[in-house]
Amino acid sequence: MDAKHVYVHVPFCARRCSYCDFAIAVRRTVPVDDYVDALDREITLRFGKERGADVETIYLGGGTPSRLGPVGLRRVLDLVRARFPQAVDAEVTIEANPEDVSPDDANNWRDAGITRVSLGVQSFNDDVLKWMHRTHDASQVASAALALRAAGFEDWSLDLIFALPSEVERSWTDDLTRAIALAPAHISCYGLTVEPHTPLLRWRERGQVHDAEEERYEAEFLEADRLLSSTGYEHYEVSNYARGDRRARHNAAYWRRVPYVGLGPSAHSFDGAERRWNAREYVEWRTRILVGRDPVEGAESLDFDSVSIEEAYLGLRSSAGLPVSSTNAGDFDRWRDRGWAVVVDGVGRLTPTGWLRLDSLVADLTDVRSR
């Protein structure tokens, strides 16, 4: 597989956040040796030992990769780089929880060649963080930002969640303002969704919380766009904002549909035609590997129509947009009249109000194409 992008899933978390349905393994103590050994075997089983071509991005996601500790982290990076050597200017990202970022950690990450840190902040309100079952408080976000700066990280990002239930008393403006005050190079804003098998779904079923009304979802999405754009951030993807050239290169590879390799439980890989995914649960993934079985448990190849829909969706969700053609020109004209799109130099892009309608606009477009 000629992939230039490698994702490594590190599934361990101290506990499950109230809204989270990711493939995680809740562990008080992270089984670093077991995990690293299984990862090493996965690479050998699936890709052999021969050193491949240089890769442009390596992304350690989770779960909470920062819980691996400096030695575990170094071992993971060493074995990934032995098979997937990184280009000189590669982006190497680690997802981290704020409480895991001490000055020593930040320095260790720099020494290990990590170039980018993505902090799971979500809110600066301690009551909200408790409601989310997060393991940090707001003061630890400020300390983490200081530690990253002192270690020389210019490229770091923070995540926020908007559209919380109205029962959760939260000021979105305050959270945005506090995020901007820390001046990260990149900010991601995700709307809360209620997923199966989460405490949040149980709370909703019991009537303890209710989804944010559509009007508030839209208002908070547009407020983020307004505040962040007016303070130097470019809204370059429906959920992502960057200053200067600090766009997330790894995630952009997914949006461009280029090949990538995924390692670890639940990780997805794509070779340009087929998407494959590993066993989701940590124990199942590791057990397969220990008995010499391929950890990949599923695969799909998209037909022509599905590829067209995916290309339309991925193009429209970012500022890359889509080339305007005879097939879609009518749609872009209509959307432009409503303020949902702009067309510049033959490329159609959605505006923030267009992004709020992303799914239905993609459906319009692909419906026309298939006629």
Binding site for ligand SF4 (CB under 6 A): 13, 16-17, 20, 22, 24, 62-64, 97, 120
| Nearer of residues 10 and 114 to ligand SF4, judged by Cβ | 10
Structure tokens at 52: 């491949």
Distances (CA, A) of 147 to 106, 117, 153, 364: 6, 11, 9, 47
CA 163 to chain centre: 18
| Nearer of residues 13 and 312 to ligand SF4, judged by Cβ | 13
As a whole number of angstroms, the distance between CA 20 and CA 26 comes to: 12
| Nearer of residues 22 and 217 to ligand SF4, judged by Cβ | 22
Distances (CA, A) of 92 to 6, 112, 115, 357: 10, 10, 5, 33
**Cβ proximity of 355 and 361 under 8 Å:** no
| Nearer of residues 138 and 219 to ligand SF4, judged by Cβ | 138
* Least CB distance to ligand SF4 at residue 28 (A): 14
* Least CB distance to ligand SF4 at residue 353 (A): 29
* Least CB distance to ligand SF4 at residue 125 (A): 17
114 backbone dihedrals φ, ψ, rounded to 5°: -75, 135
* Least CB distance to ligand SF4 at residue 176 (A): 20
| Nearer of residues 175 and 225 to ligand SF4, judged by Cβ | 175
| Nearer of residues 90 and 267 to ligand SF4, judged by Cβ | 267
Please tell me what DSSP assigns to residue 120: E
| Nearer of residues 62 and 295 to ligand SF4, judged by Cβ | 62
* Least CB distance to ligand SF4 at residue 9 (A): 10
Nearest to 73 by CA among 25, 12, 144: 12
86 backbone dihedrals φ, ψ, rounded to 5°: -95, 145
Beta bridge partners of 191: 162
CB under 8 Å to 259, separation ≥6 — which residues? 1, 2, 3, 4, 5, 270, 271, 272
* Least CB distance to ligand SF4 at residue 27 (A): 11
* Least CB distance to ligand SF4 at residue 96 (A): 10
